[in-house]
Chains A and B, each alone.
Chain A
Amino acid sequence: MRPPLLELKNVSKIFGGKNNPTVALEDMTFALSENFPKIVTVAGESGSGKTTMGMLMLGFYGPTFGNVLYRGQALGDLDKAGMFQFRREVQAVFQDPFAVYNPFYKVDNLLSIPIKNFGLASTAAESRELQEEALERVGLRPEETLGRYPHQLSGGQRQRIAVARALLLQPKLLITDEPVSMVDASLRSTILKALRGLNREFGVPIFYITHDLTTAYHISDYIIILYRGNVMEVGNVDTIIRDPKHPYTQLLVSSIPWPDPDLPWGGSEEMIQSSQVAFKKITGCRFAPRCPYKMDICDTEPPPLYRMETDRAARCYLYRENDELARDALAEVFADA
C-alpha cells in the first residue's frame, strides 16, 4: 500500500526553554492521502496548536518529537529533488493577504514564478494564459489585476489571487491557514466557493485551519477540534456542530455569533471564565480546569479518544462506555481516508 501523502507520526512541538516550555502540539498522529478528496478543518482558539500543525505540515517548523513524513520519508531527510517534489505537491494559502506579496514586485510574480519553476508552461504566452484563466475562476478581471503592485489592490483581490495560485498549481494537498479571516464578509463566499471547487472538481484534499466555526461548517466535511495541542473531538462536521458532544466543543459552538437575533449565545456560565486559568502543568485532561462536567479522574489521567460513532470520537470520560480509539488511528474516523 502506498504511504500516505503527508503524515504526522507522534509529533510534538514544544516552544520555549526548559524553564517555561509551551506545548503547542502534543503527540499528534494524523495522515492525509492524496486520494482523499475531502476538506478537513482543524479548529481551535489561539494557542490550540492549529497553526503549529500547519507549519509542521509545510515543513516550516521541525517537530520536537516524532516525524513529519512526506510519502513515507521524513521531511528532514529529503534530498533536493525530493524537497522540490514536496513543494510542488503541497501548497498553501495564508491568512494575511498583504504579507504573502513581496512589495517590490508586481502581483503577477505570485503566479508566474511557480508556473516557471514547476514547468507548467513553456512560453510566456502560455504562462499568461494560465494566469488569466485562474484569475477568472476566482472572479477577478486579469486586466484589472495583472501588472499591478500589491498596494494598489484591495485585500480581497490580493487574497483571491493567492487562491487563484492554488487553483493554478493543482497541488496534491492544499493547506489553508485562516484564508478568509482578513477578508470582507461579502467576499468570503467567493473565496470559499473557489476552494470548494478545487476540492470537488479536482479532487484536491484541503486542510482548513481556522477559529471560525461558521466558515468551517460551510466548507468542510470533517473537523478536528484542538485544545492546547490535543484533539478534543473529531469527526463529521455536520454532526459535531449541530450536536457537539465534548464540553469544549459545546462551549465553542455556543459562542458562535449566528447572524440571527433569534439565536442568542447559549451555554453555561461556569465554562466561560477562560484564560484566567493559570497555565500550570496539567496532569489530567487539558480542559478539566474549565469543564463543568469534571470528575475526579479527569484531573489525574488524560482521557483517550472514545469512538461514539464510526465517524466521530471525543476525548472525554463522559463517553467512556464506547470503544477507545488509538491515538494513531485518528484517520480511521474519516470514512474514506
Chain B
Amino acid sequence: MQRGQGFKGFLSYIRRNPAFGLGLFILVALLVFAGVGSLVVSEEDAQPLSATPNSEPTGEYPFGTDSTGRNLLAQMIHGTRVTLSIGMIAGSVGLAIGTVLGFMTGYFGGIFDTIVKFIVDVLMTIPQFLLLVMIASSVPEPDKLTIVQMGLILSLISWVRPTRAIRAQILSMRERAFVMMAKLSGMSGMEIIIKEMMPNLMPYLAISLATAVNGGVVSSLGLQTLGIGNLRRPSLGMTIYWLRYYNAFLQGYWWWILEPVIVVVLIFAAFLLLSIGMDEFANPRTRRTV
C-alpha cells in the first residue's frame, strides 16, 4: 500500500478511486446536514404542533410540514442525526464484539470456539429481524429509549455476522508464513493477533464497519417503520411510520414521502460506494493503482 503524502496524496487517490470519493462526499454531506443542521435548527421545531400542518414546501417551511404540524426541515435534520447515530453505535459495538470474538475463536480455537460457533450458527438461522422485533417490542417504555439504548439493542444482533467473517479471515491468516515466522521469533499468541494480524485486517475491518453501520441503519429503519421503539424522537424510520399512519400517499403529501426516502437512498448509496471504493485497497487483486 502506497503511503501518499498528506492531503495532496489523498486528493490524487480520490481521483483514481471515484467510488470512494463519491461515497465519502455523500456521507460527509449527510453528516454536515445532520450535524451543523442540529446546531442551527432546534429539535423543538420537530415537535408536533410547531407549525401549520400539511403544508407544502414554502419559503417559511422549506421542507414542508407533516400532518401533526412538525416542521419537516427540523425533522429531517434531527432524524438523520438520530438514525445515523443509532446505526453507528449498533455497527461499531457489533463490530467491536465481532472482532474480539472472531480473533479469539479463530486463533485459539478450542472449547471457546466451539461454543461461540454454535451460538453464531443458531443465531444466523433464526430470522434476525424477527428477533429484533421481539426484543425491541418487549421494552417496557419504548418512548423513553435513548439513542444509545436503541443502538445497543441492535448490536445484540449485529455482532453475529462480523464474528463469523473475521473468524474465517483469521483462520486463513493463521496459516500464512509470516505468522509462522512470528511464532519462530518468540511472539506470544496475543502479540501475534494484535501486532501481526490486526494491521493486515484493517482494510477488511474498515469495510466491515461500513457494512455494519449500514446494517444498523437498516435494522433501525425496519423497527421504527413498524412502529417499534421511540416514536416521539425524530428519526427516519419514525417519519416513515407516521406518514403511513396519516396516509400521506392517499393525501398526496409528496414532500413528506420523498424526503425521508431520498435521505435513506443517499445513506445506502454512500455506504455502498464507500465499500466498493475501500475494496480497491483491501483487495489487492482488484487494485488498479500501484
Interface residues of A (CB under 8 A from B): 58, 60, 84, 87-88, 91-92, 94, 96, 99-105, 110, 113-114, 117-118
* Chain B binding surface SS class: helix
Q: Are A103 and B185 in contact (CB under 8 A)?
A: no
Measured CA separation A210–B142 after assembly (Å): 68
Not counting A84-B186, A92-B184, a sample of 12 additional A-B residue pairs whose C-beta atoms are within 8 angstroms of each other reads: A58-B180, A58-B184, A60-B180, A60-B183, A91-B184, A94-B181, A99-B176, A100-B178, A100-B181, A113-B187, A114-B186, A117-B187
Does B130 reach chain A (CB closer than 8 Å)? no
Closest A residue by C-beta to B202? A104
Take A100-B178, A102-B196, A102-B199 as given contacts and tell me if A117 and B184 are in contact as well, using a CB distance cutoff of 8 Å.
Answer: no
Interface residues of B (CB under 8 A from A): 1, 176-178, 180-187, 196, 199-200
Closest B residue by C-beta to A97? B177
16 A-B residue pairs with CB within 8 Å:
A58-B180, A58-B184, A84-B186, A87-B183, A87-B184, A91-B184, A92-B180, A94-B180, A96-B177, A99-B178, A100-B180, A100-B181, A101-B178, A102-B199, A105-B199, A113-B185
Q: Are B200 and A118 in contact (CB under 8 A)?
A: no
Q: Which residues of A contact B184 (CB under 8 A)?
A: 58, 87, 91-92, 114
Measured CA separation A103–B282 after assembly (Å): 13
Q: Are A87 and B181 in contact (CB under 8 A)?
A: no
Q: Are A104 and B177 in contact (CB under 8 A)?
A: no
Q: Which residues of A contact B185 (CB under 8 A)?
A: 87, 113-114, 117-118
Partner of A104, one of B180, B182, B199: B199
Closest B residue by C-beta to A55? B180
Partner of A102, one of B1, B178, B183, B186: B178
Measured CA separation A13–B183 after assembly (Å): 22
Most chain A CB atoms below 10 A, which of B180, B184, B186:
B184
Measured CA separation A102–B178 after assembly (Å): 6
Q: Are B199 and A94 in contact (CB under 8 A)?
A: no
Q: Are A88 and B186 in contact (CB under 8 A)?
A: yes
Closest B residue by C-beta to A95? B177
Partner of B186, one of A60, A104, A110, A118: A118
Smallest distance from the beta carbon of A78 to chain B beta carbons, Å?
13
Measured CA separation A105–B199 after assembly (Å): 9
Q: Which residues of A contact B196 (CB under 8 A)?
A: 102
Measured CA separation A174–B260 after assembly (Å): 66
Closest B residue by C-beta to A104? B199
Closest A residue by C-beta to B196? A102
Measured CA separation A47–B1 after assembly (Å): 36
Q: Which residues of B contact A84 (CB under 8 A)?
A: 186
Q: Are A99 and B177 in contact (CB under 8 A)?
A: yes
Measured CA separation A114–B183 after assembly (Å): 10
Q: Which residues of B contact A104 (CB under 8 A)?
A: 199-200
Measured CA separation A79–B185 after assembly (Å): 17
Partner of A117, one of B1, B180, B186: B186
Measured CA separation A307–B85 after assembly (Å): 77
Closest A residue by C-beta to B176? A99
